[in-house]
Amino acid sequence: MSQDALAQLLRTPPRTTFAGVPDDVWLWLNTAGQRLCPALEEYLPGLPNEALQTRVVGMSGDAALGHAFNAYRVFKRLYEAHVGPIEASTTVLDFGCGWGRVLRFFLREVDPANLFGIDTNPETLQAGQATSKWGTFQKTDRFAPSPFAEQQFDLIYAYSVFSHLSEECHAGWIAEFARILKPGGMLVVTTWARSFIEDCARLRAEPGANAHADPKAFQDLEGALAAYDDGRYCFDPVYLPSFGQTCISERYASERWMAHLDVLGFTPERGGDHQEFIVARKRAG
């Protein structure tokens, strides 16, 4: 590739170059393809240091990106099923974006000016900005509000964030998402499934039984299961008063979010990591 051609490529949004490439090719371009082609490594988002990757998401490299790609495909599929095609003009917010491992995959469809990520951790945000020339990364506080305008986003998603928030923090962000979503826009967040509570107990009895569980959490097993089944907020503040381990039932979301959003349902557990996807949409009227 000539220097002029390379310079032109690096100025071209990835969606212009890669729109329509199959899923397996798009994942390959973001992983092995970058290692084989220096131009791709400069063009597409890279990775922060391995220690930071692992500290934030529990894995690194191709494993971290493969896991993120699976989440991206679920968010994309749910949006297309309930709203419509994801296009260049679709505005997307990754809430709790970390170093941008999920957000990067939307570059295949969306103009970078419409991709936003927010997080409370300045170190991970700096890593996201340093490893990607595309998209906007901004810091937010743990509690709402956000810095965004009313009705700014078509899609807001949060992967492995609402599986950790206190009820007060949770409620504030649901109201805020309703404010910044466009009418008819979609919210997709993940939460721990009910089985996570049981696996926390199993891990206490059998160390190493499940890497995704937390032996410190939900030590009152029967009480936690009863809370979940009764539609109460199931939260254990094992780290901070506003941050721990959280399991949200469909009943809770359907009843408590209805003032702001219509809950369309839960997807089943995926991949053995206990994350369930809660799908909601802002009313059009």
Q: What is the pLDDT of residues 258-280, one digit of tens each?
A: 999 999 999 875 555 678 999 99
pLDDT at 35 over 80: yes
Q: Which residues of 121-136 are buried (b: 16+ CB within 10 A; e: fewer)?
A: eeebbebbbebbebbe
Q: What is the pLDDT of residues 52-103, one digit of tens each?
A: 999 999 899 999 999 999 999 999 999 999 999 999 999 999 999 999 999 9
Task: pLDDT band for 38, please (50, 70, 90 cuts).
Answer: confident
pLDDT beyond 90 at 9:
no
Question: How would you classify the pairing of strands 115-119 and 92-95?
Answer: parallel
Domains recognised in the chain with CATH numbers: 48-281 (3.40.50.150)
Predicted confidence at residue 207, as pLDDT, reads: 83
Per-residue pLDDT at 28: 98
Q: Contact at 8 Å (CB) between 87 and 123?
A: no
Residue 14: closest CA among 140, 122, 104: 104
What's at 146, amino acid-wise?
Answer: S
Task: Using the structure block, give the residue that is written with the tokens 């692992």.
Answer: 54
Planar angle of CA 7, 117, 89, nearest 5 degrees: 65
pLDDT of amino acid 269: 57
Token pair 């997307």: residue: 92
| pLDDT for res 208 | 72
CA distance linking residue 175 with residue 95, whole number of Å: 14
Average pLDDT of every residue of the chain: 93
Q: Which helix (H) or strand (E) holds 183?
A: strand 181-192
**Position 184 confidence tier, pLDDT thresholds 50, 70, 90:** very high
Question: Would you say 264 and 270 are in contact if contact means Cβ atoms under 8 Å apart?
Answer: no
